[in-house]
């Protein structure tokens, strides 16, 4: 036990050090990364956004960041499957904690999230967001587009989120509409995967419907994404309700007929060629979960996002511009 430590999220002295906490104990940052408001030297920063006042159905995603962090304790800092590497050996990652939001003044929420994201991006770090409902992607997208220019959106979801938006709504179902209208994303390079509902507009975004995803293999889905996006800079957002409720019951707007977690994780694993500039996992609502099924799926999606980033850093040896 002399070589072991506890509460690595507070006691670590190196941003690239492995944790040795028991999976059932210790401070629950994301994957035991150091909790810090100082992101100096970080290659990637994890940011929780505990907001769910924009939901149209069941609330509870404000508890998503807590649930995802708790579930991430299962990653015991051996080489992470399927990346065959310690993700943090050559990638320093900080858990920045959560954005402070005023539950009584939701009109301030977008600005607070955008400001927090902007500070992280200005440091040169990659940002991984833990939602929160899908509205939180809107201010994250704004911050990324201000830093990188318009982005291709790679969007895993059961819903298009293209409902009409007057530019001031606090609504998890219209952020894509607003992003297109304000030039934040490039619709002709954007793609949505797993859609199983209708919306009045698609804005020219390519859609892989749920029934198409069911008939396609993971490689074919990944190839469709890669060929459509090409070399455009990408923002990757994953709504956990992309998965069938059998694999993600703990979410606000579940839709039957979706893919398995295994299939979508296999797709993510094949997206290493994308120029991903930022990402988030949203809509984990643990009150409706069972045995942490949804939280584990969400934490694994987030781990894959960091895994793709670690591989890109290993091959390109640079941080975000």
Strands 233-239 and 152-156, by their bridges, are: parallel
Q: Is 8 annotated as a binding residue?
A: no
Closest residue by Cα to residue 195 from 255, 153, 148, 131: 255
Closest residue by Cα to residue 49 from 59, 64, 69, 29: 64
Q: Is 239 annotated as a binding residue?
A: yes
Strand order from edge to edge, sheet including 34-35: 34-35, 93-98, 44-49, 126-131, 275-282, 233-239, 152-156, 191-195, 206-209
CA angle 51, 52, 58 (to 5 degrees): 160
Beta-carbon contacts of residue 246 (< 8 Å; ≥ 6 apart): 260
Distance CA 26, CA 288 (A): 25
Please check whether residue 104 is in contact with residue 23, taking contact to mean a CB–CB distance below 8 angstroms.
Answer: no
Give phi and psi for 168, each to the nearest 5: -130, 0
Closest residue by Cα to residue 103 from 144, 66, 59: 59
Q: DSSP label at 256?
A: S
Q: Is 241 annotated as a binding residue?
A: yes
Distance CA 321, CA 309 (A): 14
Q: Is 86 annotated as a binding residue?
A: no
Q: Identify the bridge partners of residue 47 per DSSP, sorted by sequence position.
A: 129
Q: Residues annotated as binding site?
A: 134, 157, 159, 161, 239, 241
Q: Residues annotated as binding site for Mn(2+)?
A: 134, 157, 159, 161, 239, 241
């Amino acid at each position: 036990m002399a070589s072991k430590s506890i509460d690595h999220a507070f006691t670590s002295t190196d941003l690239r050090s492995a944790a040795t906490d028991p999976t059932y104990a210790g401070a629950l940052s994301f994957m035991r990364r150091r909790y810090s408001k100082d992101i100096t030297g970080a290659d990637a920063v994890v940011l929780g956004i505990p907001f769910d006042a924009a939901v149209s159905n069941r609330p509870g995603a404000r508890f998503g960041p807590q649930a995802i962090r708790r579930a991430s304790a299962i990653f015991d800092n051996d080489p992470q499957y399927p990346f065959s590497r310690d993700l943090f050996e050559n990638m320093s990652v900080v858990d920045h904690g959560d954005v402070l939001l005023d539950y009584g003044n939701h009109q301030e929420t977008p600005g607070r999230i955008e400001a927090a994201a902007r500070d992280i991006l200005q440091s040169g770090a990659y940002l991984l967001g833990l939602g929160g409902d899908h509205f939180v992607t809107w201010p994250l997208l704004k911050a990324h587009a201000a830093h990188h220019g318009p982005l291709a959106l790679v969007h895993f979801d059961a819903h298009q989120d293209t409902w009409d938006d007057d530019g001031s709504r606090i609504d998890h179902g219209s952020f894509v509409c607003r992003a297109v209208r304000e030039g934040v994303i490039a619709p002709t390079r954007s793609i949505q995967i797993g859609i199983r509902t209708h919306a009045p507009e698609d804005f020219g975004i390519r859609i892989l419907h749920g029934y198409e995803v069911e008939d396609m293999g993971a490689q074919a889905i990944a190839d469709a994404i890669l060929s459509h996006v090409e070399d455009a800079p990408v923002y990757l957002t994953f709504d956990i309700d992309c998965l069938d409720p059998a694999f993600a019951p703990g979410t606000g707007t579940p839709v039957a007929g979706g893919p398995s977690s295994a299939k979508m994780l296999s797709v993510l694993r094949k997206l290493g060629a994308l120029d991903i500039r930022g990402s988030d996992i949203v809509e984990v609502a643990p009150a409706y979960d069972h045995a942490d099924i949804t939280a584990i799926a969400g934490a694994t999606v987030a781990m894959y996002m960091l895994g793709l980033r670690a591989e890109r850093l290993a091959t390109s040896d640079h941080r975000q511009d």
